[in-house]
Amino acid sequence: MKVVSKQNNSHMCVICGMDNKLGVRGQFYNMEDGSVGGLFTYRPEHQSYPGRVHGGMLATMIDELAGRVLWVDRPECIAVTMDINVRYHKPAPYGEPLKGRGYYTKKLSRAYSAKCEIMDMNNNILAEGEAKYLIMPAEKITNVTVEEELDIYIPDDVTEIDFD
């Protein structure tokens, strides 16, 4: 699937923060079908049992993907998680590239729902989840704007992500 554009990263987010030494530093893309795609590699710092990513880190990635679905068509907005449900299918390894995808399942003026999947590079689903979000003005959530927080743009040559 073709990448339409790339989303920015933040400084300290545990998933997308480029200055967070223990973070995942995931990269996220607006896809041609209106979904968000992500590319990331967990590290040993993200483990549960040796060789496996902690389930909480997978849930956090699903939350990030679902949250970023909003930025595909409303990049100026912020949403907060109201509910999240995660299902684990297979152990997720660290040290190997993984990918994720999120898309709207319901879209209202002040809220939305999204479904997300985390996959290995062979498209085996490792975890999936659904989340509900409330869209709120940034000033009610934080003292910084979306632009101030998500001000790191890292160019790359990713033009497609295989989700088939």
**If the chain, 164 residues long, is cut into consecutive pieces of 10 residues, what is the mean pLDDT of each piece?**
96 95 97 98 96 98 98 91 98 98 97 98 98 90 73 93 94
**What was the pLDDT predicted at 105?**
98
**What was the pLDDT predicted at 1?**
97
Residues 11-57 have pLDDT tens digits of 999 999 999 999 999 999 999 999 999 999 999 999 999 999 999 99
Tally Cβ neighbours within 10 Å of residue 43.
13
**What was the pLDDT predicted at 9?**
95
Contact 131, 107 (CB under 8 A): no
**What was the pLDDT predicted at 146?**
67
List of E strands, the chain = 3-6, 27-31, 36-40, 78-88, 98-107, 111-120, 125-136
**What was the pLDDT predicted at 93?**
97
Q: What amino acid occupies position 107?
A: K
**What was the pLDDT predicted at 139?**
79
- Report which of 42, 9, 53 is spatially closest to residue 28, judged by C-alpha positions: 9
Q: Where are the alpha helices (DSSP H) in 75-156?
A: 138-141, 146-149
**What was the pLDDT predicted at 120?**
98
Q: Which residues pair with 119 in a beta bridge?
A: 99, 125
Give me 89's structure tokens. Answer: 């299918």
Angstrom distance (rounded) from CA 162 to CA 47: 26
